[in-house]
Structure 1
Amino acid sequence: MTVRVTGKVVTPNGVIRQGCVEINGERITAVAEYPSVRDGHWVLPGFVDMHTHGGGGHTFTTGEADEAREAAAFHLRHGTTTLLASLVSSPFELMRSATTAYRPLFAEGVLAGVHFEGPYLSAARCGAQNPDYLRDPSTEELAELIELGGGAVRMVTLAPERDGALEAVKLLTGHGVVAAVGHTDATYDQTRAAVAAGASVATHLFNGMRPVHHREPGPVVALLDAPNVVCELVADGVHLHDGMLAFAAATAGPERAALITDAMAAAGMPDGEYELGGQSVTVADGVARLARDGAIAGSTLTMDAALRHAVAAGIQIADAARMVATTPARAIGLGDRLGALQTGLRADLVVLDDDLNVVRVMRAGAWLD
């Protein structure tokens, strides 16, 4: 049975103002003009969040399958049809148990994989990461997690200046796992060495990184300048000034800029006290900060809100659609399966009103009701 979704269809090539997406089963079978459409809703590809720690009062950081399922369901209601479960710096025992717990959810398709943000990070740029758990990269640990995950381990963020980091990057990429650079005090040259070794993602560019300086450009310039690196950006007006968001998006281009939420359990929840990686977090006016020192502790963002913020900051909707779906899908190795309104790809889409609020969500050809 063919299903037709009509409206202002946003494709990788631009907007079809009078458009139609045809779906049969789980796949998109056609994307074309549909002249009879008048003033329909926006139709975008389902959002792909490659970096999120939780939402709706539930977290990915404790490695509990029931929590992960609920967090993924929360983000699905906000248009995120594909996501990675991001952990924070943790003891190896928790990394193991989380990998084991999330492997069935990965096999089921609830999760697109696991992202370990740490613990191989810089103490000087740890941000809201728990400093008690930071350590040098271990190829033995990583090899064990990759085998345990059976394909579920999708991305690992590390600081390239730590001992053993380049060997870890080579091991990860050799097994098809994305190596990301983040929470780093690396120099420009150290960052370039990580990129040369295979690192292909910048974890929340600017945040948790040595600042740009004209005599030592540091990691930000090295990552922005690398043609094969996708740069994550948190479009919430807190992590980045809108001017910096627009600058980074223009510099990298929509094919190398990916919007992420970096959300924690408090996304979609009231202000109050929460927990992240064993540390107390206070959320006030929707901004999450560590209770101990006020460091930004993830966000309360959803991908639809990130899209609205990016468009309000001056990013064209066709570019923003690539940044919330097409580019992150490609960054984590799923671009041949999903992330765009294109014939042959999985039928994941989000219908939005003129204010870019979610009206309906479809995943794999089925409407979420």
Structure 2
Amino acid sequence: MTLRVNGKVVTPTGVIRQGCVEIDGDRVTAVAEYPSARDGHWILPGFVDMHTHGGGGHTFTTGDADSARQAAGFHLRHGTTTLLASLVSAPFEQLRAATVAYAPLVDEQVLAGIHFEGPYLSGERCGAQNPEYLRDPSTEELAELIELGAGAVRMVTLAPEREGALAAISLLTGHRVVAAIGHTDATYEQTRTAVAAGASVGTHLFNGMRPIHHRDPGPVTALLEAPHVVCELIPDGVHLHDATLTFATSVAGPERTALVTDAMAAAGMPDGSYELGGQAVTVVDGTARLAGAGAGAGAIAGSTLTMAGALRHAVAAGLPMVDVARMVATTPARAIGLGDRVGALQAGLRADLVVLDDNLDVVRVMRAGAWVD
């Protein structure tokens, strides 16, 4: 039986004001004008979050499968139909255990894969990452994680200036795992070398990176100008000034910009005390920062954002709805190798969609042709 969802349908190329998405089973079969449909709710592709650490009081960072399932469910109810479970820097044994725990969730399609944000990061730009666990890239560790995951490991963020980084990038790309550049103090030249070696994502651009200087352009400039690199941006008004958000998207364009949440367990929860990778975090007015009085105290510790909130913030900042829809779905899906399955309202792709009202609040969510409770 064919199901039709009518409204203002947002496609990668424009908005069909009186449109219809036709669905058969778990697939989109057609997207077309439907003149008899009223100019109703916004219909967008299901959001794709390639960088999130948790939400709804649950976390991905501990490697607990039940917590991961709950965190994925929280984000699904807010429109994210595809996500990577992002871990933080930790001892290898913990990363190994998380890979084993999450691989079945990837097989079940609860998760689209695992993202290791660390531990191969810069001590100078570690942000809320625990500096105790930072180290040079190990191809032996990565090879074991990739084998254990049997396809579950989809992205690894590393700092290209660390010894062994280029060999790690070569190993990752050789196994079709995305190599991302982040938490880095790399020079412009070191970043370009990593991109030439196969790195294809810039992890939360600007944040955890050597800043731009007119005589030292650093990694941000190298990533923005690289024609095949997708740049993550966190549009919460805390990680980036809105002018920085709109500037970066104007340079990279919607085809190379992926909006991400970088959310932690506190997303969707009240202000208070939380943890991220074993470190205490305090959330005040929705902003998460490392607690305590140590060297890293006060560092931004992820966000409390949902992808629906990211979309609303980006639109409020002045970005066009069609571009934002690409940046929350189509571009991140392509960046993590899933563009042939999800990320757009297009015939043949999985029937994932989000219905939004005129305030851009989530009304309904569909995943694989079924409405989510």
Normalising by structure 2, we get a TM-score of: 0.99
Distance, in Å, in 1 between the alignment partners of 2:193 and 2:90 is 26
TM-superposition CA deviations, 1:303-344 (whole Å, max 9, x none): 000000000000000000000000000000000011000000
| SS at 1:143 equivalent | helix
Q: Give the structure 1 partner of residue 130 of structure 2.
A: 130
TM-superposition CA deviations, 1:109-159 (whole Å, max 9, x none): 000000000000000000000000000000000000000000000000000
Distance, in Å, in 2 between the alignment partners of 1:40 and 1:97 is 47
Distance, in Å, in 1 between the alignment partners of 2:38 and 2:77 is 26
Where does the alignment leave 5 or more consecutive residues of structure 1 unmatched?
A: none
TM-superposition CA deviations, 1:218-242 (whole Å, max 9, x none): 0000000000000000000000000
Which of 350, 358, 365 does residue 361 from structure 1 map onto?
A: 365
Alignment: residue pair count: 369
Which of 347, 354, 363 does residue 351 from structure 2 map onto?
A: 347
Is residue 247 from structure 1 mapped to residue 251 from structure 2 by the alignment?
no
Distance, in Å, in 2 between the alignment partners of 1:327 and 1:26 is 21
Is residue 315 from structure 1 mapped to residue 319 from structure 2 by the alignment?
yes
Q: Give the structure 1 partner of residue 339 of structure 2.
A: 335
Normalising by structure 1, we get a TM-score of: 1.00
**What does 1:66-77 correspond to in 2, within 5 Å?**
66-77=66-77
Aligned residue type for 1:362: M
Q: Give the structure 2 partner of residue 113 of structure 1.
A: 113
Distance, in Å, in 2 between the alignment partners of 1:88 and 1:6 is 41
Is residue 185 from structure 1 mapped to residue 185 from structure 2 by the alignment?
yes
RMSD (CA atoms): 0.4
Q: Give the structure 2 partner of residue 90 of structure 1.
A: 90
| SS at 1:346 equivalent | coil
Distance, in Å, in 1 between the alignment partners of 2:277 and 2:341 is 32
Distance, in Å, in 2 between the alignment partners of 1:355 and 1:37 is 20
Which of 297, 302, 312 does residue 298 from structure 1 map onto?
A: 302
* Aligned-pair CA distance for 1:168: 0.2
* Aligned-pair CA distance for 1:37: 1.5
Aligned residue type for 1:325: A
Distance, in Å, in 2 between the alignment partners of 1:54 and 1:366 is 23
TM-superposition CA deviations, 1:234-266 (whole Å, max 9, x none): 000000000000000111000000000000000
Distance, in Å, in 2 between the alignment partners of 1:94 and 1:112 is 20
| SS at 1:40 equivalent | coil
Which stretches of structure 1, 4 residues or more, deviate above 6 A after TM superposition? Answer: none
Where does the alignment leave 5 or more consecutive residues of structure 2 unmatched?
A: none
Distance, in Å, in 2 between the alignment partners of 1:132 and 1:35 is 60
* Aligned-pair CA distance for 1:39: 2.0
Q: Give the structure 1 partner of residue 263 of structure 2.
A: 263
Aligned residue type for 1:330: R
| SS at 1:106 equivalent | helix
**What does 1:197-236 correspond to in 2, within 5 Å?**
197-236=197-236
Q: Give the structure 1 partner of residue 166 of structure 2.
A: 166
